[in-house]
Amino acid sequence: MGRHLARTAHSGRVGRGRRRQPGQGAMTPGHLLVAGLNLRKGLANATRRPRFLRWLIEVSPDILLIQETQSAQAANQAVIPGYRRIAGDLSLTSWARDGVAARPVGAARWYQTLEAHGRLIGNVHLSPSSGRERADQLSQLLEANKPGQELDLLAGDFNLAPRRQDGIFGDRLSTFTSGAERSAFRALLDGGGLVDVLAEGEQEFTFERQLRSQTSSFRCDLALLRQGIAERSVAAYDHSPRSSFSDHSAVLVSIPVGAGRVPARPEDDPATAVPAHTAMRRSTASPWAQWVATALAPKAAGGRVLDFGCGHGRDVRFYNESGFHAVGYDTDPMFAAALPPEGTFPVITMLFVLNTIASPKQRLAALRQATAHLDDDGVLLVATRSPQEVERQASTRSWDAVGDGYWSSRARRTFQRGIGTEELRHLGVCGGLTVSAQLPKRSWPVGASALLFRLRDAQRGRPTAGRRPAATGVLTTSMADTLF
């Protein structure tokens, strides 16, 4: 961003600065996991700090954007093990995990920018007390976010409900957010080329409190992604901090680093991909199923295994022949296992499913659908084709680029995307999981990425914080069920 928010004397208003020109500096391929969270001054709190650090270990974001880090009266700046402070002091702070290249670009009292691996990221905490001030701050953000100077991600506590249904008091729509604020917010989205990526899908709230014997609920913690990046990113709310160390939900965003692909032809639409057409017919069980039957047998209480995205079901037959009680599930009606499984399982496998889905959002939705069937202390094995393998095949077989992957067969509408272990971990974190183990490389075939996940501690028991019935007159939408 050629102009950034820089501290000016006494005002904290938007100033101007310089940004790295295209081609300057190194680009690291892959994805960055960014977490934004209002800590409610809890970083130095003796009770809440240990809970926050446990959450941080499980999530392990590359970039951490914190609002209300600690009390302004604190004598010393608190530290975060494994992270270095990029910007800020006691209230608004931005951090990078050790080993992640990041630098500060600009700062104001309520806003900071940093650059990490070529992505410009903003951390924001709008005024908690004045709607007029919030509207002015939004206008300043728009002024700074001009074409050619764009933020890639703007996240934080906006202290407003961007849509009417995002603020509820009791069973009615809240009047806290003014029309002027919403107009300024829409102008920021439209004029700044930004997308409120977490406005889609099921209605969620990121902050709740009791006020005059009524529940006040807001979706005020937001992630705004630049158009063109939004469709290649994954974002999710994590409501677990609200039952542990904060009264705000966290925002989790995995953004790609590096240039994105565009469809080779205008008529190409990744949404027309048919993942079921990639299913292989095998005469023997996959090496993955053989590994599960050996290494995870003690974990499979009662021999229960779910093969999610089972395709033709060869691995399911192998499990049952080996003495397990295995169930296969695949949402595509061309397979016989299209009925949703009942109950939960100690072991779930999801083998070479995510790499055939042409939308990052649908990949996350598929992973969440599988996770919904996981025992609280169960494990989920996810394997995908690796980026190196997909790039190799794309080169030798002249695959056409589409979306964030390739057509492996344009005629059959089969899609392939190479997913590395870090991107796979990000999907898991956004889906409420953490890595249980990274499998020894000798355990899987060449050309694959694999992780063994478990539920994050706070996700066990499936908390429902963050979701409420819609207020009177509010319509909500749900994500589509058809995933492959």
CATH number at residue 35: 3.60.10.10
Q: Tell me if 86 sits within 8 A of 106, measured CB to CB.
A: no
Q: Which residues of the chain have pLDDT under 50?
A: 1-29, 262-264, 266, 274, 276-277, 463-465, 467-484
CA distance 39 to 109: 17
What CATH number does residue 393 fall under?
A: 3.40.50.150
Alpha-carbon dihedral sign for residues 376, 437, 53, 247? negative
Per-residue pLDDT, 12: 46
**Same domain? 307 vs 196:** no
**Same domain? 234 vs 319:** no
Domain contains 90 = yes
Q: Tell me if 29 sits within 8 A of 391, measured CB to CB.
A: no
**Same domain? 227 vs 370:** no
What residues does 169 pair with on adjacent strands?
172, 216
- Look at residues 202, 225, 257 and tell me which one is the last residue of a structural domain: 257
Domain contains 236 = yes
CA distance 4 to 17: 5
Compute how many other C-beta atoms are within 10 angstroms of the C-beta atom of residue 213: 6
CA distance 231 to 236: 14
Domain contains 8 = no
346: left (phi over 0), alpha (psi -120 to 50) or beta: alpha
CA distance 329 to 331: 7
User: For the chain, how long is the longest CA-to-CA vector?
Assistant: 74
**Same domain? 48 vs 187:** yes
Per-residue pLDDT, 259: 60
Per-residue pLDDT, 310: 87
Domain contains 314 = yes
**Same domain? 218 vs 288:** no
* DSSP3 helix / strand / coil % (the chain, rounded to 5): 25, 30, 45
Tally of domains within the chain: 2
**Same domain? 127 vs 207:** yes
**Same domain? 175 vs 218:** yes
**Same domain? 192 vs 297:** no
**Same domain? 202 vs 277:** no
CA distance 389 to 448: 7
Per-residue pLDDT, 277: 46
DSSP state of 248: B
What is the extent of the structural domain holding 138?
Answer: 30-257
Amino acid at 386: S
**Same domain? 219 vs 289:** no
Q: Tell me if 169 sits within 8 A of 214, measured CB to CB.
A: yes
Domain contains 16 = no
**Same domain? 231 vs 309:** no
pLDDT digit string, tens, across residues 212-246: 888 999 999 999 999 989 999 999 999 999 999 99
Per-residue pLDDT, 271: 63
Per-residue pLDDT, 222: 99
Domain contains 483 = no
- Look at residues 203, 230, 257 and tell me which one is the last residue of a structural domain: 257
**Same domain? 122 vs 185:** yes
Domain contains 6 = no
Domain contains 88 = yes
- Look at residues 257, 287, 306 and tell me which one is the last residue of a structural domain: 257
Per-residue pLDDT, 285: 78
Model pTM? 0.85
